[in-house]
Amino acid sequence: MNPHLIIRLPEYPNQPVHWQLWPVSNTAAVGDSSGQLSAIEQLSDLNQQFGDTPTIILVPAAQITVHSVEISGKVNQTVLQSLPWRLEDEFSEDVDNLHFTVLNKEKVENEDSEEEHTRLDIAVVSDTQMTIWQHWLKQGNIVSKKWLPDALTLPWKKDTCSLLKLNNNVLIKNGPYQFGHCDPSWLDLYLDSLNSNTEGLTANALNPVCNDKVQSPKKEIEQPLTLMASEAVANKTNLLQGKWKQASPWIQKIKPWRSAAILLLATLIVAGGQSLVKTIKLEQEAQNLQAEAKAIYHKLFPGERIQVVRSQMRQKLAALQGSGESDNGFLDTMAGLQPLFTVFPELKPISLSYENNRNTLRIEAAAKDFETFTRFRDLSGEKLSDDFSVSVDAVERNGEDQVTGVLIISGKSA
């Protein structure tokens, strides 16, 4: 078992603070495993001595009241939130100023109803007192995620009542989740009240208590927390519930940086948004370019199905280059036609196709009039070498300002 530091807070700041390291090491000296501080102001000494040892805080039962309530039906979060108002008549102060902790839930039988019933054992303490305890611990740099009523950690057996005298007060535990306290002068009345509700209840004191109704040892124990430590570690109850639940220490450390973190997060969101917009814009441009590439491919090679336009275009270019001979092939043909097309900038190619086996290039083009096509054909004899012949086919007018036709340019082998 990993060691735990157990600290029992007093009722008042000037009373002793008991502490216990549990389990006790066989090699540790007595003064190294338990002791007491003279006042709350010395809590920082424990922090310096034990550092990051998990700490359990025992708070005085004198500041806590215990109540039981029976709930019909299932106990859900809504029911738990309604507990203050179910018990409102038992308090003289506003329940909004009280902290309610469910210690235990237990199924019970109800003879008057077949509906499921649950008994809740509840500890109640004022928010003001919780704030005082929290302030004491903060001043001593003590961090704890588990608080328990001190009397709840007393050893207990069925049909018995366990008592422990501590700081001129008697702690009493008379059930798994039933506990209380009283001044020694009122112990008789307290025990009579318990016996009226439970017959044959035996009162056992853990240290000497001067009362004839109590069985108590003659020898005083040196450190009372040694009797409570085991139960304090094993008990799953915790007063730190709801709004008093402790946040992790690392969360407490980053709280001062929360504003900066929020600003950084906002900056990242804005930057991420801008990056997203830019990405969407680039994707849209890529889609537009892809559409344009497909349109050009359809014009060059009408009727062919497009799957991957880049790959298909590369295949077409490879085919158009022919077998690689310098005097046959699409590239040589285009290079030879360049001087003629320079003279006719008004002749706009629309589409072209090349038959490699016949070394023939067909160009669908547009011009303003029929004469442009005629002059292109006639001038080809002067501008082109004897390796090419040019003919014109399917010339027709498409509107008032445009004439289209097909130029057939055959190579030497044609």
The whole-number average pLDDT for the span 9-31 is 81
Extract the runs of DSSP E, i.e. beta strands, from 287-376. Answer: 348-355, 360-367
Percent of the chain with pLDDT over 70: 88
User: Domain 64-124 adopts which CATH fold?
Assistant: Nucleotidyltransferase; domain 5 (3.30.420)
Name the helix (H) or strand (E) containing 146. Answer: strand 146-149
Look at residue 301 in the predicted model and tell me its pLDDT.
67
φ, ψ for residue 154 (rounded to 5)? -70, 145
Residue among 367, 360, 365, 362 at smallest CA distance from 346? 367
Torsion on CA atoms 386, 388, 393, 396, rounded to nearest 10: -90
Average pLDDT over residues 40-65: 93
Fold match between domain 64-124 and domain 324-410: no
Q: How many helices (H) and strands (E) does the chain have?
A: 12, 16
Q: CATH for 324-410?
A: 3.30.1360.100
Give the number of C-alpha atoms closer than 13 A to the C-alpha of residue 206, restricted to the C-beta side.
Answer: 25
Confidence of residue 248 (pLDDT cuts 50, 70, 90): low
What's the confidence (pLDDT) of residue 251? Answer: 52
Q: 82-106: per-residue pLDDT in tens?
A: 999 999 999 988 999 999 999 999 9
Could you give the dihedral angle defined by the CA atoms of residues 329, 334, 336 and 339, in that order, rounded to the nearest 10 degrees? 180
- Residues 109-159: pLDDT tens digits? 877 777 788 999 999 999 999 999 999 999 999 999 999 999 999 999 988
CA geometry: angle 179, 55, 152, nearest 5 deg? 5
**pLDDT over 90 (residue 168):** no
| CA separation for the pair 3, 196 (Å, rounded) | 41
Q: Three-state SS across 210-227?
A: CCCCCECCCCCCCCHHHH
Residue 12 to residues 18, 30, 61, 135, 150, Cα–Cα distance (Å): 13, 26, 13, 13, 15
Confidence band for 330, pLDDT divided at 50, 70 and 90:
low
Whether the predicted pLDDT of 255 surpasses 80: no
Residue reference for tokens 């025990």: 191
> Closest Cα partner for 49 from 140, 126, 169?
140
How do the domains of the chain map onto residue ranges? Answer: 64-124, 249-320, 324-410
Task: For residue 162, report the phi and psi dihedrals to the nearest 5 degrees.
Answer: -95, 135
Segment 38-54 shows an average pLDDT of 91
- Weakest mean pLDDT among 12-16, 173-177, 307-311: 307-311
CA-wise closest residue to 216 among 153, 152, 160: 160
Peptide bond between residue 23 and the one before it cis (omega within 30 degrees of 0): yes
Q: How far apart are the first and last CA of the chain?
A: 99
Mean confidence (pLDDT) of the chain? 84
DSSP bridge partners of 164: 171
DSSP class per residue in 39-91: SGGGHHHHHHHHTT--EEEEE-GGG-EEEEEEEES---HHHHHTHHHHSGGG-
DSSP string, 383-395: HS-TT-EEEEEEE
Long-range contacts, stretch 285-292, CB < 8 angstroms, 24+ apart: none
Q: What is the rounded distance in angstroms from the CA atom of residue 241 to the CA atom of residue 263? A: 31
Q: How far from 60 is each of 10, 133, 151, 268, 273, CA to CA, in Å?
A: 6, 10, 8, 49, 55
Reference 57, options 138, 164, 2, 178; nearest CA is: 138
As a dihedral over the C-alpha atoms of residue 273, residue 279, residue 284, residue 287, rounded to 10 degrees, the angle is: -150
Q: Quick check: helix, strand or coil at residue 324?
A: coil
Structure tokens at 391: 């003919």
Give residue 339's pLDDT: 77
> Out of 4-18, 90-104, 228-242, 369-383, which region has the weakest mean confidence (pLDDT)?
369-383
Strand partners, 390: 409
| For helices 127-139 and 43-50, angle between their N-to-C axes, nearest 10 degrees | 60
> Is it the case that residue 326 has pLDDT exceeding 50?
no
Q: What's 239's DSSP letter? A: S
Write down the pLDDT at residue 327. Answer: 43
